[in-house]
Amino acid sequence: DAGVTQSPTHLIKTRGQQVTLRCSPKSGHDTVSWYQQALGQGPQFIFQYYEEEERQRGNFPDRFSGHQFPNYSSELNVNALLLGDSALYLCASSQFSGAYQETQYFGPGTRLLVL
């Protein structure tokens, strides 16, 4: 049973460029959440997708956008990259149950460096 997978593992971009990160959820999971983790800090919630719609959003600018596909996989897009966007981007998947909490399983992350 494959866990959460993310691609690419590492990425180097320059300021102003755009980047797309990808996530495949754990088998049987239908909800994908994205988090940004800057060096030395805890992860911060970006947004969550369920049924191909953005359901929750954290305090991130519109430069951060996403998409969920019918197979539940998801993409995170960041436009007009800033140096401060350098971080580990984590994807977490869960199975929606109608309750306010389902266990989230994290992928290995994509490490983005903006120069």
Partner 1 sequence: RKEVEQDPGPFNVPEGATVAFNCTYSNSASQSFFWYRQDCRKEPKLLMSVYSSGNEDGRFTAQLNRASQYISLLIRDSKLSDSATYLCVVNRANAGNMLTFGGGTRLMVKP
97: CB partners within 8 A, 6+ apart: none
17: CB partners within 8 A, 6+ apart: 81, 114
Reduced to 3 states (helix: H, G, I; strand: E, B; else coil), residue 25 is coil
Interaction of residue 93 with partner 1, rule CB under 8 A = no
Chosen residue from 19, 21, 29, 43 binding partner 1 by CB under 8 A: 43
CB of residue 56 to partner 1, shortest distance in Å: 5
Chosen residue from 24, 48, 68, 74 binding partner 1 by CB under 8 A: 48
Interaction of residue 109 with partner 1, rule CB under 8 A = yes
Nearer to partner 1, 78 or 107 (CB): 107
Site for partner 1 in 60-89 (CB under 8 A): none
- Euclidean distance between CA atoms 73 and 30, whole angstroms: 8
| b (16+ CB within 10 A) / e for 54-90 | eeeeeeeeeebbbebeeebbbbbebeebeeebbbbbb
Interaction of residue 98 with partner 1, rule CB under 8 A = no
CB of residue 81 to partner 1, shortest distance in Å: 22
- Which residues sit at the interface with partner 1, rule CB under 8 A? 31, 33, 35, 40-45, 48, 55-56, 58, 90, 92, 94, 96, 100-109
